Each structure stands twice: as C-alpha cells, then as structure tokens.
Copies of this chain bind each other. A is one copy, B any other.
Amino acid sequence: MTAPARKACIIAVGNEVVHGFIVNRNAAWLAQELALVGFDVQYHLALTDRLEDLTYRIKSALAEGLLVITTGGIGPTVDDRTREAAAAALGQPLRLDFDVLEKLKERYAAMGRKFPDGSERQCERPEGARLVPNAFGTASCFLARHGDGGIAVLPGVPREMRGIWQEELRPALLDEFGLGARWFSRELRVFGMPESDLNNGVRDLLENRGAEGAILVDDAVIRLRWRVQAADEGDADSVLQPILDAARERLGELVFAEGDISLEQATVNALREAGMKAACAESCTGGMIAHLLTNVPGSSDVLLESIVSYSNESKQARLGVQPETLEAHGAVSEQVVREMAAGVLSGSHADVAVAVSGIAGPDGGTADKPVGTVWLAAAMGDATRAWKLHVPGDRELIKWRAARTALNTLRLAALKGGLPEKIAFWTTPP
C-alpha cells in the first residue's frame, strides 16, 4: 500500500562543530523535514574540514543508497571543502556556473560592494548536478542524484539553510524523487503532571496501536508523540486520530496544545479566546513570564504589563505591598505574593494577574526557605489564591519552571473563567 521510505543521512561540515564551538541544531531540524518528504534519516555525522574524510564519508553513504544532505563548508574560503568532496565522491569534476556567477556579481554591484576574491568558488558544482538557488546568501547549492540516493549541499547558517530548504531544495527533492511513503507524526503537549504518572496513564496508547509512540520530556513540558508511515495524511490520521482522542479524553486540561505550540502560545490563545487581559508581578522569575508571553506575535492583545520588582522598595512603590507584610513574612511568602498579585491587578485594570516570588539561588536559601522555594499567586476580581512550589534545579531552571507554572495558571484561569485550583503537581496549596 505504501512505498518503502527512502533513506537519508545528514552530514554537518566544519571544525567549529566538531570541536564543540557551535551546537549542531541543523540536523534535528532537517531530520524532521526529511521525514515529511519521505526520507527516513539513518544517522547524523559532524565532520571536520578535512577533504579526505569528507569524501570518504560521502562516498560510503552514496554507496549505501542514501540521500546525503550536507550543511556547511560551501563558503568562499579555502577551508570550505564540501563542494570538492561531493564532486570527488560522485566521481565528477567541479564546474563553474557562469550564469550564477554573473548574477552574484550583479548582486554585489547592486549593494555597492566589491566582489570578494575567491567568491567564484561559491558558484561551482559537480558536473551533472542540479542548481539549487540560494536567495538567502552568496553560496549556491546543488542536488545530484546517485543510484537510489544522491547528495544535496546546503550552507551551515541555520536561517539560510532553512530558507533554501523551504523555497528550493524541498521542491527539488519532490521533483527528483517523488513523494514516497512518508512518516507522519502528531504530538500532544502536557504540562503539570509527573512523567511517571503520565507514562502509566497512557502506556497502552504508546504501544500496540499501529503507531510508534514516545514520551519526550523537556523539563516540565512533556510531549506525547506518535508517528506512523503512510501514503498520505488521511491514512495516517485514520491510525493517529483515535489515539490522540483517547489521550485527550484521559488527560483533559493537562493537554495544553497539539503540535508545535509552546505553552506561552497556548496561554496567549486561551486569554484571547476568553477576551481577558493579563498582568504580572515578577520577583524571582525576573521578567521571564513577560519575555515568554511577548515572544508570541500579537501578545499585546492580552498582556498589559509586567512589573519586575527585584527590590523591596519596588514591591512597595509599584505593587502596593505593605512594608509590614515584608517585615513580618519576608519577600518570599504567601502574604507578599498575594499582595503583589492584587496590587498589579488593581494597578493595571487587568482581568487576571499572576505574581511570583521565590529563591532562585544559588545564594539566599535558608533552612526554612531553601533554594527552590517559590510562592505563586493569582488574582481575579477581589479573589486571590496562592500556591507554594518546591522547584528543583539551578537558578535558570527554577526561573524556567516557575515562569511556566505562572503561564499555566493564566491559561487555566482563562479556560475556566476563574481562579484554578490545581496548577501543577509540584505545588501545594498553603
């Protein structure tokens, strides 16, 4: 019914990657994209600029019938050896494309810049290879078939690489190879449940339902993912939809999104749908709640302000926290976060507010309030509710988890039209 998936590998080229000065984020991105056009990625490699190595590895992959996608090593300098290696592995000479060179020179001229020495190399490709134009940079790319597979050469700069993939290489691959049996995947995102409980709760849905299921944990956000090989989306969904429906039925509001949607995006969506405006008062999260929300386009529709009060004076002056409350209970306390939440709510005229105050460390912890002690409050109308969080981890992780818990609180308040009771499993009501 479905054609066998074609196989691919991804090779990142560059000393900087191999020596660890750059994290190779391209491979993961390309692997997911390749799956969608019917190539099953077998492995990723990162190689130095050494020509012999590069040639040998590309040749081996071609001999296995793989489609090789390379990133990096196609710039104008002598360290850029990917073109040569591809040509050698294919057994073809490199040819300069004079039309491409002419256009590149025109682009430099239009910018009023001198054409740099050695940049001609960026217009070369192996004889018989198909041009993959690069509107995002100066290095031209190419695609060459070889046996069941072939090789496609992309730049290493992520934005440039992604642009060329979307605009040029993906259509060229579909043109050359057709659309085979593809991998389709769907994913639910869950916040606020322990991984072990989730695992037990959905184990039967991860296995034996005709799809490969997996649980991926990214700190407090858990991704439930299923993938299946199918001819088209309809066939895939006939397997995947019942699984997703069953998972949603069991998990309820713990599921904040389907697919590649962040918790902050889901929060903005929920607030917008509820027609609610939000405000925040942040101490230990230090602006991160607002930063996450404002990463979402259109968040100005739902966020009025966030007061990052990193001093007691600011908590008093901006949020109306009483000096006596700070004196009696300390800045990390139920009473102070309730006053912070109520203060920012009334000052901003928002519909819902959250406030966070905690000890992010590494200093500042006490026996009574160790590092990771975080108080969170929400306010709507005249009501406030507070939770105590015990957040494990270092400073950045404590900020990260506390900020996400605050986002989830806003999301649940918008969904329910009122203050939620349970916001995450690591909180205890006061």
A residues touching B (Cβ–Cβ < 8 Å)? 12, 15-25, 27-32, 35, 41-48, 53, 183, 214, 216, 223, 225, 227, 280, 282, 284-291, 293-295, 297-300, 303-311, 313-314, 317-318, 347-349, 360-363, 395-396, 399
* Chain B residues near A288 (CB-CB < 8 A): 287, 291, 294
Using CB atoms, name the residue of chain B closest to A46: B44
Residue in B17, B21, B28, B399 whose beta carbon sits within 8 Å of that of A21 in the complex: B28
Given contacts A286-B294, A288-B291, contact A318 B313 (CB under 8 A): no
Q: Are A308 and B306 in contact (CB under 8 A)?
A: yes
A27, A227, A298 interface centre (most CB from chain B within 10 Å) = A27
24 CB contacts below 8 A, A to B, read A17-B28, A18-B42, A18-B43, A19-B31, A20-B29, A20-B35, A21-B32, A23-B24, A23-B25, A24-B28, A43-B53, A285-B294, A286-B294, A286-B295, A286-B299, A287-B306, A294-B310, A297-B362, A304-B314, A305-B309, A307-B307, A307-B308, A313-B349, A317-B348
Q: Are A24 and B24 in contact (CB under 8 A)?
A: yes
Given contacts A287-B291, A363-B297, contact A28 B32 (CB under 8 A): no
Residue in B30, B43, B308 whose beta carbon sits within 8 Å of that of A20 in the complex: B30
Distance between Cα atoms of A306 and B290 in the complex (Å): 11
Distance between Cα atoms of A147 and B93 in the complex (Å): 39
* Chain B residues near A298 (CB-CB < 8 A): 363
Closest Cβ–Cβ distance, residue A192 to chain B (whole Å): 21
A12, A288, A291, A293 interface centre (most CB from chain B within 10 Å) = A291
Given contacts A44-B45, A307-B308, contact A314 B348 (CB under 8 A): yes
Using CB atoms, name the residue of chain B closest to A347: B317
Residue in B32, B305, B318, B347 whose beta carbon sits within 8 Å of that of A19 in the complex: B32
